[in-house]
Amino acid sequence: MKLFDKVLIANRGEIAVRVIRACRELDIKTVAVYSDIERDAMHVRLADESVCIGPASSQQSYLNIPGLITAAEITDVSAIHPGYGFLSENANFAETCASSGIVFIGPTPKNIRLGGDKSRAREIMKKKHIPVVPGSKGVVSTEEEAIKVAKKIGYPLMFKASHGGGGRGMKVVNSEGELKHAFYIAQREALTAFGVKDLYLEKYIPELRHIEVQILADGDGNVVHLGERDCSIQRRHQKLIEESPAPIASDRIKKKLGALAVKAARAIGYRNVGTVEFAVDPNWNIYFIEINTRVQVEHPVTEAVTGIDLIKEQIRLAAGMPLGYKQSQVKISGHAIECRVNAEDPVSFTPSPGTITFMYPPGGPGVRVDTAVCAGVVVPAQYDSLVAKLIVHARDRKEAVARMRRALGEFIIEGVKTTIPFHRRVLENEDFIRGNFNTSFAERLNGTKPKS
């Protein structure tokens, strides 16, 4: 049975290439879309057809809903895959696809809306007895209300934008004296960045591990999890290294994370591919943080340890196929690590766009490189700076670390600065090797944050 005849990929770069590969293996024809400056991009060359959707600016191309729907109509596709970023978590886009008779390869608009409304998601999880960080009941609309909540939960605490994401619009408050100012700053930031000023409060957890669980759900109430990923190595909310399983975590903690994620997905009637994000404190207390309703950049580490192709599953589920396996059939095998190679200065992380003059990607046993660039290609300044994802898989974490070190040693990119030297330093770090790290690790390594 054919899932779809033809799919349009509303994205660019390595994720567009990744989706095209899945479609080709499923015998589905592909349509790439591109902006003026990406006429010769790899995703355009690899797709069966392509359509120019506008000028370089994302706003006028990859985020242009009428342009994308028109491209889908003239190429007669039956579905659209949004990738990550851009329109992947835009409920209006998912709805527009549906009303145009096009399947949106992702969760329902309702799922996406709830994922985007973090204070409401928090309240739903509380009702289902999923642990959340102590904080406000729903949004805090006034400074007086915030002070009242703060008196109850204590300092430090954190304002978060209800409709925020990726860590933007968050403000730590250390005392009542700071609260008023932080409230108005956070409110203004939320309004300008997300168009909604709503804030909620949470007790601030220092030194946390960011651990997320991959879930799959069909429309018949079947939900499975595919284990967890530790994404604690990040800087300014940009993840840099992810791995699966989570290092050091006991089997009991991993089981608990998986069960909580499945419970969370059921609580909201989730379908398709998603991620439940948790904060894990130094005492291994687990708190629900938010739910991400897209396929994530770091999905390959989960693919490596489960052997499951997440993009194919996404497409199958969107076509209405039931989940093909039960939880007991999901087996985690070995250990996988991903390093994000960005065209950025490896110390300051400032973008380094330009022409790649030479590139030699690593290979050999257990090595995967997801990229859409090669020598001679321009890394544009207009989009995110990710140029390649280097993923290794080995029998255990020790071997995965050695394999990643070996692969990073082989990787040559010239013409633009990259984060490869940063990754080489991390892979030699004693604390990283021991699995002893949290979200402060990258800043400390670069000397920008003292050890408390």
Catalogue the active-site residues: 294
Distances (CA, A) of 383 to 258, 311, 342: 34, 22, 12
Asked whether position 290 contacts ligand MV4 by CB under 6 A, the answer is: yes
CB of 287 to ligand MV4, least distance (A): 7
CB of 171 to ligand MV4, least distance (A): 9
Which is nearer to ligand MV4, 179 or 317 (by Cβ)? Answer: 179
Asked whether position 45 contacts ligand MV4 by CB under 6 A, the answer is: no
Asked whether position 210 contacts ligand MV4 by CB under 6 A, the answer is: yes
Q: Alpha-carbon distance 365 to 392, whole Å? A: 9
Please name the helix (run of DSSP H) or strand (run of DSSP E) that holds residue 399, with its range, or none.
Answer: helix 397-410
Distances (CA, A) of 441 to 209, 224, 234, 301, 432: 10, 31, 8, 20, 9
Stretch that binds ligand MV4, among 9-17, 196-204, 332-340, 343-351 (CB under 6 A): 196-204
114 to 133: interface string for ligand MV4, x by CB under 6 A: -------------------x
Residue with tokens 């039931």: 322
Asked whether position 449 contacts ligand MV4 by CB under 6 A, the answer is: no
Asked whether position 334 contacts ligand MV4 by CB under 6 A, the answer is: no
CB of 234 to ligand MV4, least distance (A): 6
CB of 40 to ligand MV4, least distance (A): 36
Asked whether position 439 contacts ligand MV4 by CB under 6 A, the answer is: yes
Of residues 392-411, those binding ligand MV4 (CB under 6 A): none
Please say whether the beta carbons of 212 and 277 come within 8 A: yes
Stretch that binds ligand MV4, among 203-211, 306-314, 355-363, 408-416 (CB under 6 A): 203-211
The first and second tokens of residue 275, run together, are 């991620």
Which is nearer to ligand MV4, 208 or 400 (by Cβ)? Answer: 208
Which residue type is seen at 298?
Answer: E
Asked whether position 84 contacts ligand MV4 by CB under 6 A, the answer is: no
Asked whether position 289 contacts ligand MV4 by CB under 6 A, the answer is: yes
- Residue 104 phi/psi, 5-degree rounding, is -85, 120
CB of 438 to ligand MV4, least distance (A): 8
Distances (CA, A) of 352 to 49, 72, 258, 343, 347: 31, 33, 38, 5, 12
Q: Alpha-carbon distance 244 to 247, whole Å? A: 8
Stretch that binds ligand MV4, among 199-207, 215-223, 352-360, 375-383 (CB under 6 A): 199-207
Q: Which of 55, 123, 131, 167 binds ligand MV4 (CB under 6 A)?
A: 167
Please say whether the beta carbons of 18 and 8 come within 8 A: no
Instruction: Kindly write down the DSSP assignment for every residue of 131-164, as one continuous string.
Output: -B-SB-SS---SHHHHHHHHHHH-SSEEEEETT-
Stretch that binds ligand MV4, among 38-46, 200-208, 238-246, 360-368 (CB under 6 A): 200-208
Which is nearer to ligand MV4, 209 or 299 (by Cβ)? Answer: 209
Asked whether position 72 contacts ligand MV4 by CB under 6 A, the answer is: no
Q: Helix crossing, 118-127 with 251-267: angle to 10°? A: 110
Q: Which of 237, 255, 331, 449 binds ligand MV4 (CB under 6 A)?
A: 237
Of residues 260-279, those binding ligand MV4 (CB under 6 A): 277, 279
CB of 447 to ligand MV4, least distance (A): 16
Spatial neighbors of 222 by CB under 8 A, at least 6 apart, are: 322, 323, 326
Q: Helix crossing, 176-194 with 143-153: angle to 10°? A: 120
CB of 211 to ligand MV4, least distance (A): 11
Side by side, the strands of the sheet bearing 171-173 are: 171-173, 157-161, 199-203
Which of 229, 252, 209, 206 lies closest to 436 in space, CA to CA?
A: 209
Contact residues for ligand MV4, defined by CB under 6 A: 133, 158, 167, 170, 202-205, 208, 210, 234, 237, 277, 279, 289-290, 439
